């Protein structure tokens, strides 16, 4: 099951909203949307998204599959970024031996497939 953050993000995207429109800078802690955990799991504490009503639990749960996919792909992206290494080192590797770099990048992608 996806975290509330990913469900809310999927809900907003399904309503045509983008991160920049609502200020999704840091895990939905923006002037428009705030998630908090008051001891029994995350809840939506603030909802001020223009033109979009606050989602119900059933609306969020209906987006669980997409939200889970997005959350998993985000984790895979972070894993790939760590495995690729520093961009300067990659550029040096490309300059010295592009075929070795391509093989290494392919292995990282094969070892960490997206959904």
**How far is CA 39 from each of CA 42, 71, 84, rounded to the nearest angstrom?**
8, 23, 38
What is the token pair recorded at 109? Answer: 């992608």
Q: Tell me the chain's radius of gyration from C-alpha atoms.
A: 18
Predicted local confidence at residue 99, as pLDDT = 96
**How far is CA 109 from each of CA 27, 73, 76, 91, rounded to the nearest angstrom?**
26, 12, 9, 18
Predicted local confidence at residue 48, as pLDDT = 87
Predicted local confidence at residue 27, as pLDDT = 57
Predicted local confidence at residue 29, as pLDDT = 61
Predicted local confidence at residue 46, as pLDDT = 87
- The rounded distance, in Å, linking the Cα atoms of 99 and 115 is 27
Domain coordinates in residue numbering, the chain: 4-111
Predicted local confidence at residue 21, as pLDDT = 63
**Beta strands in 20-80, from DSSP E residues, in sequence order:** 33-37, 42-47
Overall pTM surpassing 0.85 (yes/no): no
Q: At what angle do helices 87-111 and 64-84 cross, to 10 degrees?
A: 130
- The rounded distance, in Å, linking the Cα atoms of 103 and 111 is 12
Predicted local confidence at residue 14, as pLDDT = 94
pLDDT, block means (10 residues), the chain with 115 residues: 89 85 59 84 88 95 95 94 94 95 95 93
Predicted local confidence at residue 28, as pLDDT = 56
């Amino acid at each position: 099951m996806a975290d509330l953050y990913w469900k809310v993000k999927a809900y907003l995207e399904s309503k045509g909203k983008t991160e920049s429109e609502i200020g999704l800078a840091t895990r939905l802690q923006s002037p428009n949307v705030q998630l908090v955990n008051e001891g029994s799991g995350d809840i939506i504490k603030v909802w001020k998204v223009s033109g979009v009503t606050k989602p119900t639990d059933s609306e969020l749960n209906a987006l669980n599959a997409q939200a889970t996919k997005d959350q998993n792909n985000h984790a895979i992206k972070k894993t790939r970024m760590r495995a690729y290494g520093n961009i300067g080192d990659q550029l040096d590797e490309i300059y010295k031996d592009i075929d070795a770099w391509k093989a290494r990048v392919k292995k990282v992608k094969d070892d960490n497939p997206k959904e």
